[in-house]
């Protein structure tokens, strides 16, 4: 049962990264790719009706994590206290950046909120990337299952690391490239004309960076935590995951070149999804590794809620998520195709 919840929570988080990833990426590129007020309204219009729903995946995943693995929720949220609170502030800023911008037709007002939105999006990507790096590298868990990481110490991955060290910064940089590309591919799908051409150029520049940085981060990950390969050795079928990652990268390359915008974006979704599945597969059954004594790691066994809670939860979770996916199909099907100005109230 713990394994089922591990898979569900991992899928929800992966769903969050794939979905909110494209609007975060669009945000990071907002100031660079979209120059005029019209173009910026197109970018915002491309994510306007969906970004809020995408972000709900984070809340729903957080709530589900809280329910299924209360100790992991408690330990990691308090241990990553400072970066997590910064994430919360950035989520506040980003949301008001998107939502308050349109209320005034004033150039300064709009420039201000464009800047808030874009900068907050970029910093969120940095923090999320570093967070993933922290989970892979491990944290200084104590015998009481708790820890506290400062923002940084000496930038080394020793037993007492900070939230930022060379490895997690690398992860943040990789994440910027991947998520920015994801956002660019989404915006290409939703726009046309000059903006579309500029985004293609950006995507073409980002792709080699994504490939090189992904390779570097995988190599660094195994260097930081050699145990990551244990599950792949024990279950060789797992090697299908990196094969899919590579296939998705090739897909992004081929489909971008041939102008098949939808397929290129979907390849990017598969790329992100398989990267995260690969990480989750490598960590299992560990949820949060210890950077010191490995027996102190939080696992699905010592961090799960009571057996009764886990079995009861499966019912309402499945029902709720089935309905939620229904809403997503509805909203995305109402919102398919290219965005044009004045086609909805967001513009």
Partner 1 sequence: MGEALFIHRLHFAFTVTYHYIFPQLTMGLAPLLVVLKTLALRTGNPVYDQATRFWSRIFAINFVAGVVTGIPMEFQFGTNWAKFSELTGGVIAQPLAMEGVFSFFLESAFLGLFLFGEKRLSRIAHWWAGFALFLGTWMSGYFIVVADAWMQHPVAFNRLPNGSFEVQGFSGVLTNPWALVQYSHVMSGALITGAFVMAGAGAFYLLSHRAPEFGKMFVRIGVIAGVIATILQIFPTGDIHGRYMAEYQPASTAAMEGLFHSEKGAPLVILGQPDVEHQRIDNPLVVNRLLSFLIYGTPTAEVDGLDHFPRENWPTSIPLVYFAYHIMAGLGTIFVAIMGLALLLLWRGTLYGMRGMLWILMLAVPLPFIANTAGWLTAETARQPWLVYNLLRTDQGFSANVSSANGLFTLLGFMGMYAMLSIFYLFLLQRVVDEGPEASA
Q: How far is the CB of 151 from partner 1 (least distance, A)?
A: 11
How wide is the angle at C-alpha 89 spanned by C-alphas 86 and 90, nearest 5°? 85
Residue ranges binding partner 1 (CB under 8 A): 48-49, 52-53, 55-56, 59-60, 62-64, 66-67, 69-71, 73-79, 81-82, 84-85, 88-89, 91-93, 95-96, 99-100, 103-104, 145-148, 305-309, 312-313, 315-317, 320-321, 323-324, 327-328, 330-331, 334, 344-346
Query: Burial letters for 251-265: b for 16+ Cβ neighbours within 10 Å, e otherwise?
Result: bbbebbeeeebebbb
Residues 6+ apart with CB under 8 A from 187: 26, 29, 33, 43, 46, 195, 196, 199
When the beta carbons of 146 and 166 are compared against partner 1, the nearer one is 146
Q: How far is the CB of 35 from partner 1 (least distance, A)?
A: 25
When the beta carbons of 219 and 327 are compared against partner 1, the nearer one is 327
Are the beta carbons of 35 and 334 closer than 8 angstroms?
A: no
Q: How far is the CB of 128 from partner 1 (least distance, A)?
A: 14
Q: CB-side exposure of 134: number of CA atoms within 13 Å?
A: 27
At 286 the three-state DSSP class reads strand
Instruction: Output the six-digit token pair for 173.
Output: 């940089």
When the beta carbons of 48 and 183 are compared against partner 1, the nearer one is 48
When the beta carbons of 236 and 306 are compared against partner 1, the nearer one is 306
When the beta carbons of 20 and 261 are compared against partner 1, the nearer one is 20
Q: CB-side exposure of 223: number of CA atoms within 13 Å?
A: 12
Q: Sign of dihedral through CA atoms 192, 255, 232, 306?
A: positive
Q: How far is the CB of 177 from partner 1 (least distance, A)?
A: 27
Query: Burial letters for 83-101: b for 16+ Cβ neighbours within 10 Å, e otherwise?
Result: beebbeebeebbbebbbeb
When the beta carbons of 63 and 115 are compared against partner 1, the nearer one is 63
When the beta carbons of 30 and 101 are compared against partner 1, the nearer one is 101
Q: How far is the CB of 136 from partner 1 (least distance, A)?
A: 20
Q: How far is the CB of 129 from partner 1 (least distance, A)?
A: 19
Are the beta carbons of 169 and 130 closer than 8 angstroms?
A: yes
Q: How far is the CB of 302 from partner 1 (least distance, A)?
A: 10
């Amino acid at each position: 049962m713990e394994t089922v919840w591990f898979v569900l929570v991992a899928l929800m988080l992966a769903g969050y990264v794939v979905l909110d990833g494209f609007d975060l990426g669009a945000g990071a590129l907002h100031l660079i790719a979209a120059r005029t007020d019209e173009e910026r309204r197109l970018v915002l219009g491309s994510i306007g009706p969906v970004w809020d729903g995408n972000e709900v995946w984070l809340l729903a995943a957080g709530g589900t994590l809280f329910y299924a693995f209360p100790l992991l929720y408690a330990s990691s949220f308090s241990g990553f206290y400072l970066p997590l609170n910064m994430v919360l502030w950035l989520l506040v800023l980003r949301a008001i950046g998107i939502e308050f911008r349109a209320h005034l037709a004033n150039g300064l007002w709009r420039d201000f909120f464009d800047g808030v939105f874009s900068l907050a999006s970029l910093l969120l990507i940095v923090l999320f990337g570093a967070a993933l790096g922290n989970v892979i590298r491990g944290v200084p868990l104590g015998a009481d299952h708790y820890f506290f990481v400062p923002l940084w110490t000496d930038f080394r991955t020793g037993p007492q690391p900070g939230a930022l060290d060379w490895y997690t910064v690398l992860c943040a940089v990789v994440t910027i490239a991947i998520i920015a590309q994801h956002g660019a591919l989404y915006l290409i799908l939703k726009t046309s004309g000059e903006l579309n051409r500029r985004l293609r150029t950006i995507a073409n520049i980002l792709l080699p960076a994504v490939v090189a940085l992904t390779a570097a981060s995988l190599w660094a990950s195994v260097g930081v935590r050699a145990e990551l390969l244990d599950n792949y050795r024990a279950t060789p079928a797992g090697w299908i995951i990196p094969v899919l990652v590579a296939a998705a990268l090739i897909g992004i390359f081929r489909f971008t070149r041939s102008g098949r915008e939808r397929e290129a974006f979907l390849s990017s979704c598969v790329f992100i999804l398989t990267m995260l599945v690969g990480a989750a597969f490598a960590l299992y059954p560990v949820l949060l590794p210890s950077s010191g004594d490995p027996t102190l790691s939080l696992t699905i066994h010592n961090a799960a809620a009571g057996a009764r809670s886990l079995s009861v939860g499966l019912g309402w979770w499945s029902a709720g998520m089935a309905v939620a996916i229904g809403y997503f199909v509805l909203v995305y099907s109402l919102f398919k195709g290219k965005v044009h100005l004045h086609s909805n109230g967001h513009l």
